[in-house]
Amino acid sequence: MMSAAQSTLESKLEALQCHFTWDLDSSRSKLFRLRDKLQDIGTEEGYSWLGHIYNLQGYIHYQLGFIEEALRFFSRAAEAFRQIRNTVSDEGPWLLVSYGNLAWLHHHLGEPAESQAYLSKVDALMNKYPSPSQDELHPEIYAEKAWTLMKFSKDKKQLAVNYFQRAIRMQPDMVEWHTSHVIALVNAFKYCNKKLEADIFEKMKIAKEHDPENLYLAALYLQACAKKGEKIQDEVRELARKVLRKPVSSYSGIKPVLKLYRIYVSMDEAIDLAEEVLERHPDERYLKRCAAICYKKKILLHKSNPLETGVINRAISLYREVISLYPHSSLKRKIVLADIYGESNHQAEADEIYEPLLESDLDPEEAQMLYNCYAKYVHFIRKESYKSIEYHMRAAEIPLQSSYRKNSIRTLQRIKDRNRNRMCRQIEELLANLQD
């Protein structure tokens, strides 16, 4: 039976604002993917967010069962905040989340004295640095919560936008908050009405003026300009030169710049740029990943054009290497590699990748993606229409809303409407059950 002291401690822990109380539960596969994404930010380009990065890394490692790593990251987060804020005092409201995380971790480790010590630190900070608004959290908490949700989950990006707005309203002088707020807006409203799109564009323009060194934001701004019909080729090339001078990081802007090259300049120039960056930094796994994406797009989006053997071999080589460099988060990359093999008339190699994946233990989100992709593969490459239908049905049956499920349902609906397939009755029954 829980003692009164234990009950009081747990009540105080539940009241904290930190990663352990923000409803961040997720599958192991998603946690591994996120861990890799955070590692790819690096420590230089993500400097202003370094404390937040370490806090989220600590929580992810705790969820994955790596307790010592979790403690190390939480401690590094607190130290990073002290260095980044560059204030006279070593303590400040930016440490509220870090201390909350450490209180929870020591509680889970069965160390109540250490947990209570961090709770006391949280109380002292809240008394010394109260929120500017009595009915709201401290802006430092809103900002960290917003950044975390933006990274953690697609379906929480709108909430991240709201939290950034609250933080900025109370503390408007934080440039990086404005920048991340705009990036969160872009991600949350990729498919929005024209009025909202114009509003986001104006916010993006202002944020870019206040944060001119953020080349990731600059790339998003050029993309928005292109959608408005502006010619951006020269600006894209100029931005690429700036990106090349930045430290390697997923924050440097290289990935969105390569996307701009592929869409608005040329696919071949995109590949040349990717290879140039990789030649400068041959051991950087993130750059190999970016280069692999360029080759994938060239192969899978230009199916009607016969491709040189060298292009296909380079794509295969890059994907094999990237898969080995991201061993816990490469399901999608394995599927892409299989599809490249299939498109280049190496069906046996494609089957060798797909078969063990289909027998592996996947979470529902991963299984849905795999079934949808495999359904397309067996239809277009192996010409097995009934098997394709079977896997589209499997993808549709998994009750998770995703682009993969929508695609499978649309495909099944088209087959049913044509009414030329002996599986039409089964498809009709499945679709009817999905609507119940």
* pTM of the predicted model as reported, rounded to 2 decimal places: 0.93
In a domain, 244, yes or no: no
Task: Provide φ and ψ at 352, rounded to 5°.
Answer: -65, -25
For 243-258, b/e burial (b = at least 16 CB within 10 A) is: beebebbbbbbbbbbb
* 347 HSE (CA, 13 A, CB side): 7
What is the C-alpha to C-alpha distance for residues 360 and 253, in angstroms, rounded to an integer? 35
The predicted structure's pLDDT at residue 163:
97
Collect all residues with Cβ–Cβ distance below 8 Å to 165 and sequence separation of at least 6.
Answer: 181
In a domain, 113, yes or no: yes
What is the C-alpha to C-alpha distance for residues 142 and 293, in angstroms, rounded to an integer? 34
Helices 385-397 and 403-418: angle between axes, nearest 10 degrees: 130
Low-confidence stretches of the chain (pLDDT < 50) are: 1
In a domain, 40, yes or no: yes
In a domain, 189, yes or no: no
In a domain, 81, yes or no: yes
Q: Looking at the 3D structure of the chain, how many domains does it have?
A: 1
What is the C-alpha to C-alpha distance for residues 174 and 390, in angstroms, rounded to an integer? 53
Is the CB of residue 68 less than 8 Å from the CB of residue 49? no
CATH number of residue 1's parent domain: 1.25.40.10
In a domain, 224, yes or no: no
Q: Which domain holds residue 9?
A: 1-129
pLDDT digits (tens, 9 = 90+) for 132-149: 988 999 999 999 999 999
Collect all residues with Cβ–Cβ distance below 8 Å to 272 and sequence separation of at least 6.
Answer: none
What is the C-alpha to C-alpha distance for residues 367 and 306, in angstroms, rounded to an integer? 32
Collect all residues with Cβ–Cβ distance below 8 Å to 224 and sequence separation of at least 6.
Answer: 186, 200, 201, 204
pLDDT digits (tens, 9 = 90+) for 291-344: 999 999 999 887 656 778 899 999 999 999 999 999 999 999 999 999 999 999
